[in-house]
Amino acid sequence: MSNTYYEFFCPVKVIAGKAALEHIPYELSGLAAKRPMIVTDKGVRAAGLLDPVIAACEESGLEIISIYDDVPPDSSTTVVRDIAAVYRKEKCDSIIAIGGGSAIDTGKAVNILVSEGGDDVAKYTGAGVLKRPLKPFLVVPTTAGTGSEVTSIAVITDEKKGVKLPFTSSYLLPNAAVIDPRMTLTLPPHITAATAMDAMTHAIESFTCMAKNPLSDAYAAAAIKKVSRSLLQVMDNPKDSDGRLELAQASTMAGIAFSNSMVGLVHSLGHATGAICHLPHGLCMSLYLPYVLEYNLETIREPLSELLLHLEGPEVYAATPSSRRAEASISALRKLRDALYKRCKLPRTLKETGKVTEDQLDQIAEMALDDGSIMFNPKEVNLKDARAVLQRAWA
């Protein structure tokens, strides 16, 4: 399993902890930016999350020139074009994306247009198209899960063609990711749970899939430990800002891990299920995680055994015979899912979602096989295998 060659890259400055938002003006001035535009969504604004950001900037004499708060959950090329038009009209010179995966991806795509010119972001789709740095760009995540603040990819829907366009370039990475516990404090329980399980899945897949490497492993292991220790604590006490910060950091660390070592079958199945059944990504991750680990078990026994230490702590690890540790890791994850189900009904099977019918499983399996992440799954997957995992996950 160990790679004799690997690459690791993460040039994003991480600004994390109490009063992190107050560092935004200083960071922007260091990038010679004076006229920032905020890109966000209605939910973030309604939750009052813009207020501390705006206040932090105004107190330092930095005016937010424009706020676009209408990013939809599935951002499109049209939205990107509209935001770029506002940016140009208002003569902005930098972007602050505040939100979850969609707002962040939109910010990345807008940055392509306003830096490279033009109205059609589809022109820049693919890998390695961008050849130079873009405008100053900060990201403030408001969910602790996607890790988008440290990944060099954005996915935007082309409405006309009805396809999802991937953009990959290290220039899409923000100059800084600002992680402030205030931003996730009001996240509702089911989103807290689902997004944390997304982070957990990033870390576990990165630790067990084909492109694992020692640097990613370190980030992944630390992220798993943080989620295991803090998730239920935060579920029981949502205002626990230390716990919130732990989850937010875990999400960023898991993001750093998986953007360097990729993910596997959990994500292939999750992407397909999201597209066909319109279920939230984090929910799908939590749902499929144990079934995929069981499918991969014999190929990943060693790394999965190691993870028991981070999932359950040293006592349980030491008390478990080494031949049982991989299975114990899977049980620990099942236990966590049961606890989440008890607290916020986060589904553990496809049936429990109430949104999937059994006759959709073939279509999901088919689509999962075409997902890029399947290339990095440690065990080969054919249509029958994918279908069998889905059947296990059904009920």
> Which residue in the block uniquely carries the two structure tokens 């705006």?
54
Give the span between the Cα atoms of 151 and 108, in whole angstroms. 10
User: Of the candidates 19, 46, 55, 375, which one interacts with other proteins according to CB under 8 A?
Assistant: 375
Query: Which parts of 87-126 interact with other proteins (CB under 8 A)?
Result: 126
Question: For other proteins, which stretch binds (CB under 8 A), given 37-45, 109-117, 241-249, 373-381?
Answer: 373-381
Least distance to other proteins, CB of residue 116, Å = 19
Question: Which residues ranging from 68 to 87 are in contact with Fe ion (CB under 5 A)?
Answer: none
Q: Which is nearer to Fe ion, 101 or 243 (CB)?
A: 101
Task: Find the shortest distance in angstroms from Cβ 7 to other proteins.
Answer: 5
Q: Could you say which of 350, 374, 386, 390 contacts other proteins (CB under 8 A)?
A: 374
Which among 356, 200, 352, 206 is positioned nearest to 273, based on CA atoms?
356
Q: Which position among 16, 86, 210, 344 is part of the footprint of other proteins (CB under 8 A)?
A: 210
26 CB burial (10 A radius; 0-12, 13-18, 19+) = exposed
**Least spacing, CB of residue 194 vs other proteins, in Å:** 25
User: Which residue's beta carbon is nearest to the bound Fe ion?
Assistant: 198
Nearest distance, CB of residue 161 and other proteins, angstroms: 12
Instruction: Work out whether 371 is an interface residue with other proteins (CB under 8 A).
Output: yes
Segment interacting with other proteins, rule: CB under 8 A, options 10-18, 115-123, 302-310, 374-382: 374-382
Q: What is the chain's Cα-based Rg? A: 20
46 binds other proteins (CB under 8 A): no
Sheet of 176-179, strands arranged across: 13-16, 176-179, 137-141, 94-99, 36-39, 66-68
Q: Any idea which residue has 């910060």 for tokens?
A: 245
262 binds other proteins (CB under 8 A): yes
Q: CB under 5 to 8 A by kind: which of Fe ion, other proteins, none does 372 bind?
A: other proteins
The string of DSSP letters for 6-40 reads ------PEEEESTT-GGGHHHHHHHTT--SEEEE-
- Work out what residue 126 binds among Fe ion, other proteins, none; the CB cut-off runs from 5 to 8 Å by kind: other proteins
388 binds, among other proteins, Fe ion, none (CB under 5 to 8 A by kind): none
Contact partner, 128, from other proteins, Fe ion, none, Cβ < 5-8 Å per class: other proteins
Give which of 152, 164, 172 is closest to 111, Cα–Cα: 172
Q: Which is nearer to Fe ion, 93 or 198 (CB)?
A: 198
Query: What gap in Å lies between CA 218 and CA 225, rounded to an integer?
Result: 11
Burial of 92 (C-beta count, 10 Å sphere; 0-12/13-18/19+): buried
* Residue 380 site contact among other proteins, Fe ion, none (CB < 5 to 8 Å, cut-off depends on kind): other proteins
What is the per-residue binding string for Fe ion in 182-201, x denoting contact by CB under 5 A?
----------------x---
Q: Which does 198 bind (CB under 5 to 8 A by kind): Fe ion, other proteins, none?
A: Fe ion
Q: In the chain, which residue ranges form alpha helices assigned H by DSSP?
A: 24-30, 42-46, 50-59, 77-89, 101-116, 189-208, 214-236, 241-261, 265-277, 281-312, 314-319, 325-344, 350-353, 361-368, 383-394
Q: Are the CB atoms for 107 and 100 separated by under 8 Å? A: no
Q: How far is the CB of 318 from other proteins (least distance, A)?
A: 32
For residue 140 the two structure tokens come to 């403030």
Q: By rule CB under 8 A, what count of residues binds other proteins?
A: 24
Q: Which amino acid is at 347?
A: P
- Among the residue ranges 174-182, 184-192, 282-290, 364-372, the one whose residues contact other proteins (CB under 8 A): 364-372
Distance, CA of 175 to CA of 138 (rounded, Å): 6
Q: Rounded to the nearest 10 degrees, how much is the dihedral formed by the CA atoms of 192, 196, 197, 199?
A: 150
| Binding stretches for Fe ion (CB under 5 A) | 198
Site of interaction with other proteins (CB under 8 A): 3-7, 126-128, 166, 209-211, 261-262, 369-372, 374-376, 378-380
